[in-house]
Amino acid sequence: MSAGMNIHKRIIGVCWVLFGVLILSLLAVNFSHTDQRITIVGALVGLVYAAAGFALLANLPRSWRIGLPCAALSIFSFPIGTAIGFYYLWYYFRREKLN
Least confident of 33-37, 44-48, 52-56, 88-92: 33-37
pLDDT band at 71; cut points 50, 70, 90: very high
- Looking at per-residue confidence, does 68 or 3 come out higher? 68
Contact 47, 14 (CB under 8 A): no
Distance from C-alpha of 69 to C-alpha of 54, rounded to nearest angstrom: 15
Q: pTM for the full model?
A: 0.85
Q: Which domain holds residue 57?
A: 3-98
Count of the separate structural domains present in the chain: 1
DSSP 8-62: HHHHHHHHHHHHHHHHHHHHHHTGGGS-HHHHHHHHHHHHHHHHHHHHHHTT-TT
